[in-house]
Amino acid sequence: MTNPILSSWTTPFEIAPFAEISDDDFTPALDQAMTAHNDQIAAIAENSDAPTFGNTIEALEAAGEQLDKVLSVFFTVAGADSNPRREELQREFSPKLSAHFSGISSNKALFKRVADLWARRDDLNLTEEQARVLMLTHRGFVRAGAALAGEDDTRMQEIKSRLASLGTSFTQNLLADERDWFMDLTEEDLQGLPDFVLDAARAAGLEKEAQGPVVTLSRSLIVPFLQFSPRRDLREKAYRAWAARGANGGDTDNRDIAAEILGLREQRAKLLGYDSFADYKLETEMARTPDRVRELLMQVWEPAKSRADADAEILTQMMQEDGINGPLEAWDWRYYAEKRRKAEHDLDEAALKPYLQLDRMIEASFACANRLFGLEFAPLDVPLYHPDCRAWEVTRGGQHIAVFIGDYFARGSKRSGAWCSAMRAQAKFPKDQAPVVINVCNFAKGDPALLSYDDARTLFHEFGHALHQMLSNVTYESISGTSVARDFVELPSQLYEHWLEVPEVLAEFATHAETGEPMPQEMLQKVLKAANFDQGFQTVEYVASALVDLAFHDGDAPADPMAKQAEVLADLGMPHAIGMRHATPHFAHVFAGDGYSSGYYSYMWSEVMDADAFAAFEEAGGAFDTERAKALEDNILSTGGSREAEDLYLAFRGRLPGVDALLKGRGLIAA
């Protein structure tokens, strides 16, 4: 019987046939796909013909189709709908996959062919895109250790295998801590909570099979609880549990794992001749060096900390007026900030949320994409991996562009956060294929589901990533969609957030869940005026995390990451009542894999550009200026990694921006 993962998918648009796939199919499918991939690699490496771009680079691009299918299905469900069996498979697959891809990157015969082409690159008559793919392929082999020999080569393979296993363990420990902790709430504990928090707590209680409503460690539930609960004792209990994820001792503690990861990364970088892992990692990014990253972050840190310190004094006074003496604590900030926002801006999130229905915000994100890029979205009725998921066909001018899948609700089987991934990336070689793109979020369920303003911004953010995948128009998958520098990849997503704040968008789509009435003009103005409220807090918690990440990797790896974290925060003068957005034991961006290691700063690097890029629309014909939209698609959204990120931005804007646009955008300096 043919394995359903490896069979020809006859589903609409060749979406993975999730309904036919069982967990028992993954291991045999992976083994068969890796064997087939190894045979393809061997055929390329052992080809007796002289290396050409076609028989080496394009052959590499075409290899591994079966493996791509297996991994796209497995990692989709492992991240968004895990279970004990899938967690076990992740632990089993991590070292196998590491060994598999290390075997390719350390294949000397294969690297010899790539290096031969690189040496003759000026004589190969390549297109600009082909030259880019050759450069990236050669660079990828070198950075993976292909030029190493003997003991150094062996040690590199050991390091990569161990890092893969450690990253999986880190992720699963974090998921376990988030899944297993919850706090029961009595009727008395519910006092002061708005209806949307009560609904979310009751839904969470049902999922946890508790006796009543509960608070979980899902950001979409714990943050509003910290904002609205007048019970300081419960806020403290919930916050401490949230802050302690990955640091509770026992089998799920991530602190030793983080230390080992940092040590292995340093070894890896030094084997390749770099002074530090940060030097190695940043070489391929727009920032290039740790010093440039630190310079940007510190330019933002000082005004953000000044704003946060001033805000802390105001919140402390409010707390003391409530009869609470002592310092403002981390479990107090959101509660008093919410009271202050209501007082200063007359903006009550409990009154605002009914206007931010999930379905209407999805419609808004689609409508903006239609006005900017001509995309149309039609619902698809197809079996997906969870009942919460929904799908749409994306077309333009009647032509199929992509399939878009949305998985929006928090659940215990889903890791925290929000992300975008492509189950199939756009490419024209070896065959023309349209992308299948997924947005995964963790919003609270409700009837109807209501979003906070931050949730709505997250929805637009992830859809910006989706547009980068869907509008990609390149030949080779290796440079398709979001395959760009890490500090450039957040530009399309953060830029798209700006359309949520366009008054005409909110006026049309922010309609009340019960009455259907549009958001009152007065409330709309308050929302826009309050958009930068509490930016001192938000910027400090983010920049502190980015600076700790950089400090971990710029220089010798710390034997005790927690001590290093404390040292960095002390040197910065971290405000007492603000915690890092991601403390070390639950800093999945940095420790679940190499993706954002030395790279958490990239959100801010991209924000420097996104503030400037949206200004380009405003300077032209407004948010929906057709010429600017075409320039954005032609130079950024469709181009993937076909050129250097800096060149792509220059082609769109004509210049690179300074940090002032970001500071003004966050309201940290006068506009």
pLDDT digits (tens, 9 = 90+) for 175-232: 999 999 999 999 999 999 999 999 999 999 999 999 999 999 999 999 999 999 999 9
Q: What is the pLDDT of residue 291?
A: 97
* Mean pLDDT confidence for 287-305: 96
pLDDT over 80 (residue 546)? yes
Q: Could you read off the pLDDT of 129-140 as tens digits, one per residue?
A: 999 999 999 999
Q: Could you read off the pLDDT of 308-325 as tens digits, one per residue?
A: 999 999 999 999 999 999
Q: How do beta strands 436-443 and 399-409 pair?
A: parallel
pLDDT over 70 (residue 273)? yes
Q: Report residue 120's pLDDT band, with 50, 70 and 90 as the boundaries.
A: very high
Q: What is the pLDDT of residue 661?
A: 82
pLDDT over 90 (residue 446)? no
Q: Report residue 665's pLDDT band, with 50, 70 and 90 as the boundaries.
A: confident
Which residue from 272, 284, 303, 301 is spatially nearest to 599, judged by alpha carbons? 284
Q: Could you read off the pLDDT of 199-210 as tens digits, one per residue?
A: 999 999 999 999
Report the greatest alpha carbon distance in the chain.
83
Mean pLDDT, the chain, rounded, equals 96
Distance of CA 638 to the CA centre of its chain: 20
Query: How far lies 150's CA from each of 109, 146, 222, in Å?
Result: 15, 11, 51
**Vertex 289 angle, CA 287 and 291, to 5°:** 105
pLDDT: which is higher, 628 or 526 = 628
Q: Could you read off the pLDDT of 563-609 as tens digits, one per residue?
A: 999 999 999 999 999 999 999 999 999 999 998 999 999 999 999 99
Q: What is the pLDDT of residue 671?
A: 63
The top-level CATH class assigned to 354-529+603-665 is mainly alpha
Distance of CA 359 to the CA centre of its chain: 22
The top-level CATH class assigned to 12-147 is mainly alpha
How many separate helices (H) and strands (E) can be counted in the chain? 27, 7
Q: What is the pLDDT of residue 319?
A: 98
Task: Provide DSSP, 440-476.
Answer: EEEEPP-SS-B--HHHHHHHHHHHHHHHHHHT---S-
Sequence-ordered list of residues with C-beta below 8 angstroms from that of 416, at least 6 positions apart, any chain = 174, 175, 178, 217, 218, 219, 442, 588
Strands (E), 320-398: 376-380, 390-396
Query: How far lies 549's CA from each of 81, 192, 290, 587, 636, in Å?
Result: 29, 38, 11, 9, 28
Catalytic machinery residues = 462
* Mean pLDDT confidence for 275-300: 97
Question: Sheet of 436-443: strands edge to edge?
Answer: 376-380, 390-396, 399-409, 436-443, 419-424
- State which fold the 251-347+535-600 domain adopts: Neurolysin; domain 3 (1.10.1370)
Q: Position 63: which residue type? A: A
pLDDT over 80 (residue 1)? no
Strands (E), 169-291: 182-184, 214-216
Query: How far lies 608's CA from each of 95, 572, 601, 665, in Å?
Result: 38, 22, 11, 9
Domain ranges across the chain? 12-147, 181-245, 251-347+535-600, 354-529+603-665
* Omega before residue 383 within 30° of 0, cis: no
CB 498 within 8 A of CB 623: yes
Q: Position 223: which residue type? A: V
Torsion sign (Cα): 461, 462, 464, 465: positive
State the number of CA atoms in the 13 A half-sphere of 543 facing the CB: 27
Q: How far apart are CA 577 and CA 70, in angstroms?
A: 45
Q: Could you read off the pLDDT of 255-270 as tens digits, one per residue?
A: 999 999 999 999 999 9
Distance of CA 470 to the CA centre of its chain: 17
pLDDT over 80 (residue 621)? yes
Torsion sign (Cα): 531, 537, 542, 547: positive
Q: Which tokens hold the place of 469?
A: 């995948």
Q: Which tokens hold the place of 419?
A: 């992300």
Q: Could you read off the pLDDT of 555-575 as tens digits, one per residue?
A: 999 999 999 999 999 999 999
Is-same-fold flag (251-347+535-600; 354-529+603-665)?
yes
Q: Could you read off the pLDDT of 401-423 as tens digits, one per residue?
A: 999 999 999 999 999 899 999 99
Q: Is 184 exposed, middle or buried (0-12, 13-18, 19+ CB in 10 A)?
A: middle
Which residue from 489, 484, 486, 564 is spatially nearest to 266, judged by alpha carbons? 564
* Mean pLDDT confidence for 353-363: 97
Q: Could you read off the pLDDT of 467-510 as tens digits, one per residue?
A: 999 999 999 999 999 999 999 999 999 999 999 999 999 999 99
